[in-house]
Structure formats: structure tokens, C-alpha cells
Amino acid sequence: MLCPQCGAPAAPDLAKCAHCGVRLAKVACPSCFAMIFEGARFCAFCGAEPARLQSAETKLPCPKCKTTILARVDLGETTVKECAKCHGLWVDASTFDRICTDRERQSAVLGSASEMFRPERKNLDMTVRYVKCPTCAQLMHRVNFAKCSGVVVDVCKGHGTWFDRDELQHIVEFIRTGGMDFVRKKELEELESARRRLESARSAPYQQASPTTERGWVFHEHDLLDIAGSIIRMLR
């Protein structure tokens, strides 16, 4: 690929030309939300056709750049707010829920997706930088999506989620390769382990005021009630 401004060679997913600095790649894939080179006919990551329509700027400030105003961008049927400077995305809560649901359906159609996902230790940036929600200006929570995806995003439960560049793409990949199935399987294993501990504690002699589990944990009566309550809630 060549930069349309200066003609210098550039990688297909390069955000800016290394020679003249003009912006090359934009979030244009409506399927995987990858950065696509300006003018590309297909997404280099999933093969989908680009579908990007940018409208006027919003009144929302970029949580990272702070001085930059987010612009509304329609990626197919999905609307996001994008920062032209850092390439981050603001996605409201209902839109992100729909993205996750649609990608889980795609994962189910592909079949055996849960066998494809393998948890890995990513090189996470351990520097904690809390940013404010562009809607309510309150500090957002930093959350490792699904607790094991390795993608740490900034979340305002009432308004939406902020994704640094490529983070939404990584989450979509996590879901499509069966990441959520892996999480549910892990939760069921933990539920079964809690059930076995509860049964073990109940079968212990009543005289023992503090029955001990196989892991050496000590249970009191209120602990047993808490475990039972947790099992009931997870089975709903």
C-alpha cells in the first residue's frame, strides 16, 4: 500500500504515514472493527467489506485526549463515537451488548469455537490510568473483559465503554473464538466445586462448630448459607 499523500510505502493497518503523518487507516470494518487502510476493498483481518460513514462531531470529549471532540461514525448498522487523534472508540452500553450478542451467535454458527480459544498471558500495560466518562464526567472502572480476555477497558455502567485503539477488535476476536464459552465452563466448574464443599460441610458431624473443607477452609453456619445462596443465584 502507498500513502495517497506522499507515496511512501505503508502497512495495510498503519494508522498514520510514517513519512508525512497523514492518517491512513480508520476503523471501517463493521464486522471485526479492525483498522482498515483508506481505500481498501476488504478487511485484511476478516474479509468483510468496509462500511464507514462519518457524520458531524458530537459534544463528547475524548476520555484520553480530553481536548479532542468525538465524532459519530456509522460502521454498517453499528454507531460508535471515535477520536480522530488517538483512534479510541466510545460505545454506549446497549450497542456494546448488541455487539457481544451478535458475535456470540456467530461463534455458535461456526461450531466447536470453545475448543479454539486458549487463555494466554498478554503483556498488559500495568500503569493504571483512570479516565472520565465522556457523558457524566465520572471516573470509569477498569475491567478485564470477561475476567480472562486480557483486554482491560474503561467502563461506565450507566453509559458505555471506552476502547483504546484495537481493543474492541480484540474483544470481538475473543468472543468469536469461543472465549465466552470458556468463561461459562469455568464458572460451572467453580459452581460444582462450591457444591461439593457444601455437601462435604453438611455431612460433617454436627458437633463440629467449624467444619473444614478439603482445602483447609473453615466454614461457619453463615458461610454455608452464603454458599447455598450463591449456588441458587448461579442456577437461575
Highest mean pLDDT, choosing among 107-111, 180-184, 204-208, 220-224: 180-184
Can you give the pLDDT at residue 39? 75
- Looking at the DSSP assignment, which residues form a beta bridge with residue 71? 57, 82
Mean pLDDT calculated for residue range 69-94: 94
Mean pLDDT calculated for residue range 57-66: 92
CA-wise closest residue to 74 among 93, 97, 98, 91: 91
What is the distance between the alpha carbons of residues 106 and 153, in angstroms, rounded to a whole number? 23
The better pLDDT of the pair 164, 191 is held by: 164
Mean pLDDT calculated for residue range 70-90: 93
How many beta carbons lie within 10 A of that of residue 198, not counting itself?
Answer: 20
What is the distance between the alpha carbons of residues 128 and 24, in angstroms, rounded to a whole number? 30
pLDDT digits (tens, 9 = 90+) for 2-35: 776 787 887 766 777 777 877 777 888 999 999 8
CA-wise closest residue to 138 among 102, 162, 104, 118: 162
Predicted TM-score (pTM) above 0.85: no
Cα dist from 130 to 1, 60, 141, 143, 206, whole Å: 37, 17, 7, 11, 50
Degrees (nearest 5) of the Cα angle 111, 92, 122? 55
For residue 41, name the pLDDT band (cuts at 50, 70, 90): confident
In percent, how much of the chain has pLDDT > 90? Answer: 36
Beta strand ranges found along the chain (DSSP E): 25-27, 35-37, 52-61, 69-75, 78-82, 89-92, 141-144, 152-156, 160-163
For residue 167, name the pLDDT band (cuts at 50, 70, 90): very high
pLDDT digits (tens, 9 = 90+) for 109-166: 655 444 444 545 444 455 678 999 999 999 999 999 998 888 999 999 999 999 999 9
In percent, how much of the chain has pLDDT > 70? Answer: 75
Can you give the pLDDT at residue 113? 41
Mean pLDDT calculated for residue range 32-54: 87
Can you give the pLDDT at residue 123? 46
Answer yes or no: is pLDDT of 81 > 70: yes
Domain ranges of the chain: 1-50, 51-177, 192-235
Residue written as cell 454458527?
109
Can you give the pLDDT at residue 183? 85
Can you give the pLDDT at residue 192? 87
What is the distance between the alpha carbons of residues 67 and 61, in angstroms, rounded to a whole number? 6
